[in-house]
Amino acid sequence: MLIRSIKLKNFRQYKNVEIDFSTNNKRNITVIIGENGYGKTTLVRAFIWCLYRDATGFADRILLNKDVAEILQDGNSADVIVELRLEHKNALYQITTKETYTKSMGQLVVKEKSATSILRKLEEDSYQKLPEEAVKNEIENILKSDLRNYFFYDGEKNRIEDSAKGRNIKNAISLLTGISKIEDLSKYFEPKNKTSVIGVLKEERSLDNDLISVDTQDEINKEQSNYDTVQQQLQDIDNEIGQLTEQYNTKKAILDSNADIREQQNEINELSNTIQMAHNSLDDKLAQIIKIINGSKKSATKPLHNILFAKAMNKYSLEKLLSETTFNTKESLSNISEEAINQLIERGYCLCGAKIISGNDAYEHLMQSKEHMEPHDFGKYIEDFIVTEQANMDSSQSIIESIRSSLNTYLDTINSISDNLERINNLKEDIKGKVDIGEIQRDVDNIALQITQCNERKKYSEGELHTIEVRIRNLNNKLDELSEKNENNKLINLCIKYGERIYSELIKRINKSRETVREKLEQSVNSIFGEMYHGERHLEIDADFKVTTTNNGRVIENSTGTETVKNFAFVAGLLDSVKDKLVNRGEFSDDDLDECYPLVLDAPFSNTDTEHIHNICKVLPKHCDQVIIVLISKDYEIAKDSIFDRIGKTYRIIKHSETDDSIEEEL
């Protein structure tokens, strides 16, 4: 299948567009350049809508161009048309899908749902219109709907980065390589299937002991019903895992493509946590300052009081006041108390025997001496106070420094909170109106958890299924023993054995073919990966065709850019496998398969570095028959030197308004 052209009429923002694609096998690339928001994804989805009438990729299911819808009068109609011209197995096709809209009481409604018609060219300028009932089958013959996600990448719902993670990849490879033909044949002989050849033959047998056989058959039917129920549960779980995986990949893609916003939102979260911790520490810092000021509970005085007294002593020069007393001079009698003098006067004579009489010299002398002893002379108190306060002066400096340091830390924390709040406000202003990466990250984490839970349920159901299989096998063995006792069953039993042998051989053939495909695909993918990626990494493909990256046998996670390279290598290897027919041609080969397929890509180089873009562009065209690539100018400027000699046609999307785009060829 090679796409020759596409025409769009009134399809969303494309009112009247026609593009001819390069089908030259040497210049097999068609480049369409358009900036973000220019309708690149819409263009790729037009292919899918035309072939499969699938518009689920659009949030707004109204496909009619908004300008056309705006001027449409009540009662009038307008058509949305997409026409593809392609060749498949040497035949030319014109596939047209049309949907008709009308206006009724000012409301736009679908008048005729989308319908597809096919013209097939038989002779020169002679086309045959296929019957309506044959259209779907013919398109399936051209490209099975289950395979479309491996050839049309719209950059959003289906991205090249997720190609090796598809939930139907095993089925897709079976279809592409012809293994599905063997699988379909094996279903006719499936022993567990009551409608298969073996199932019908078993129902035809006559049994010696009808009572036992009826009971046994009832048990088998019951177990088979349980088996079908669990099998359906497993299918539902697989579907759920598939849907969750698609959601996960979609959300993850948004995260990857908005890494700058994620960094900003992460910074906001980190700053918010820092602010919260700073707020929590403010109380502790303030309590520490208060503790320094108040001192310990056991202390009779408070450090702040001591500091203030010490400052006051320094300010008011209490040492000068001390010098004005007779304390510590020769006149000082600080060691004799006033009470002792009063006792001598009262006794009337001195220790030396001199009489003390009011008014005599001894009396007057003692009365004058009382002025130079405590409490009249307070110098001793002043000295004690000075000594104490000098100690407070000495310690006050360290306390003041401690308070100053704690207070500076407190103020620095407040300033830091203020600066961080300002930074948060600036960041919020930068990402205002943009996607909430934090919410998407929570969605990704939640989806990952749901996938884990589904896998746990799947593991339990698989164990339950195995148990039922054992019971059914034992019951069937019991019926087989009963049937062998009846001579009438001899031919039927022989046919059953032949059927079982055929089934066994088909399963062996399927497994062998799958392993052959897996080995050759892995070899091909690694060869291509080695051309695109320069490093020591190796790609491993398991039995379910899931791809993992290893380094020296150890599974590793890829960066977004390396993951893109891996998936390009996988898709290119897949296309090689179709061309080379990894399953040998023969009785089981699929004659419906073409050997040529297009690869249609929108925005394939998101988050891919320059070197890998060059490598991908050099290698990809060698493995693909036709490449239609829609990309932004920046990526084209990087890629063009690597694909210049492979480009057959170049177009550019021109945006006239939000509802009107055109596409012009660049010569």
Range of the domain at 355: 287-426
Kind and range of the H or E element at 33? strand 29-33
- Count how many domains the chain has: 1
- Tell me if 300 is assigned to some domain: yes
| pLDDT (mean) for 195-224 | 79
Q: In the predicted model, is pLDDT for residue 21 greater than 90?
A: yes
Query: What are the distances in angstroms from CA 248 to CA 235, 357, 396, 438?
Result: 19, 116, 65, 15
Nearest 10 degrees: CA dihedral of 7, 156, 168, 173?
A: 60
- Tell me if 449 is assigned to some domain: no
Classify the C-alpha dihedral 250-251-256-257 as positive or negative: positive
Q: How far is CA 474 from the centre of its chain?
A: 47
Examine residue 375 and say whether the peptide bond preceding it is cis (omega within 30 degrees of 0).
yes
Q: What is the DSSP letter of 78?
A: E
- Tell me if 468 is assigned to some domain: no
* Residues near 129 by beta carbon (within 8 Å), at least 6 away in sequence: 117, 118, 119
- pTM equals 0.65
SS3 assignment, position 158: coil
- Tell me if 230 is assigned to some domain: no
3-state DSSP helix/strand/coil % of the chain, to nearest 5: 60, 15, 25
- Tell me if 405 is assigned to some domain: yes
- Tell me if 381 is assigned to some domain: yes
| pLDDT (mean) for 658-667 | 92
- Tell me if 311 is assigned to some domain: yes
Assign 210 a pLDDT band (cuts: 50, 70, 90). Answer: low
In this predicted model, what pLDDT tens digit does every residue of 171-189 receive, in sequence order?
888 887 778 888 989 999 9
In this predicted model, what pLDDT tens digit does every residue of 335-359 receive, in sequence order?
666 777 778 788 888 777 788 888 8
| pLDDT (mean) for 310-331 | 57
In this predicted model, what pLDDT tens digit does every residue of 364-420 receive, in sequence order?
877 777 766 655 555 555 666 666 666 666 666 777 778 788 888 888 888 988 888
| pLDDT (mean) for 521-533 | 90
pLDDT at site 587: 47
- Tell me if 583 is assigned to some domain: no
Q: Helix/strand/coil (H, E, C) string of 537-598?
A: CEEEECCCCCEEEEECCEEECCCHHHHHHHHHHHHHHHHHHHHHCCCCCCCCCCCCCCCCCE
| pLDDT (mean) for 259-263 | 74
In this predicted model, what pLDDT tens digit does every residue of 437-469 receive, in sequence order?
778 888 888 999 999 999 999 999 999 999 998
Q: Which of 163, 1, 29 is nearest to 569 (CA)?
A: 163
Residues 422 and 412: their CA atoms lie apart, in Å, by 15
pLDDT at site 300: 54
Q: Which of 314, 363, 318, 309 is nearest to 341 (CA)?
A: 363
Kind and range of the H or E element at 464? helix 437-484
